[in-house]
Copies of this chain bind each other. A is one copy, B any other.
Amino acid sequence: MKKKSIVIVDDHLLFAQSLESLITKLEEYEVLAILKNGKELTQYYMHKRKVPDLILLDVKMPVMDGIQTMQWLKENRPEQKVLALTMEDDEDTIIKMLRNGAKGYLLKDIHPENFEFAMKMVIEQGFYYSGKIENALRNSENVDDSGDFHERLTEKERGFLKHACSELTYRDIAEEMGLSPKTIENYREAVFKKLEVKTRVGLVIYCMKNKLIKID
């Protein structure tokens, strides 16, 4: 039997190479390449390298993350089978990945036997659904999917957002941005409406939830 080919896309080199060891041990699979992000995956395709039977795709990556990568694949390689693999058990992320064509979704704390089963399922049957995913999908059906509010923000509003997630007053922000406090006030009101928050604290929490702002 011919070995199934796999490409791993994950910025955690140690994990990726460890995973390679594990997969190689399974005999039925071979790892064609380990790539650090979606960008490298697009380059992999451009060099007309062998198309893998399956891509193991991490979600949280620098440069080009899992969701961006799925969007690119949807456009350019819609037939590519992808198993998303991540630490995040954030439902929104799961849904987004599946919406963009991922055939299955695994958390990295999965038991290796299930992992093997999931790979097999996606390659042979075209999909793998775990209990968690079914939950996520069921929940998402009920939710009137209005998408990400923040995608409708203007550039200026996004700029305001960055400053709003701090201890600056609106007056400070106005100075920082070289604008009138009243203009900032307009941004605030617009952003509040678009993101459906009622207070600045609500705004900050929205940003955190949706990882619009990096905290470190």
A13 and B201 form a contact (CB under 8 A): no
Residues of chain B contacted by A215 (CB below 8 angstroms): 205, 208-209
**Distance (Å) between the CB of A140 and the closest chain B CB?**
15
Q: Are the CB atoms of B167 and A201 closer together than 8 Å?
A: yes
Copies of this chain? 2
Interface size of A by CB at 8 A reads 40
Confirm or deny: A51 has a beta carbon within 8 angstroms of a beta carbon on chain B. no
Q: Is the CB of A13 within 8 A of B209?
A: no
Minimum CB distance partner of A85 in chain B: B14
Say if the beta carbon of A15 comes within 8 Å of chain B. Answer: yes
A30 at the interface (CB under 8 A from B): no
Q: Is A14 a contact of B21 with CB atoms below 8 Å? A: no
Asked if A22 CB lies within 8 Å of chain B CBs, one says yes
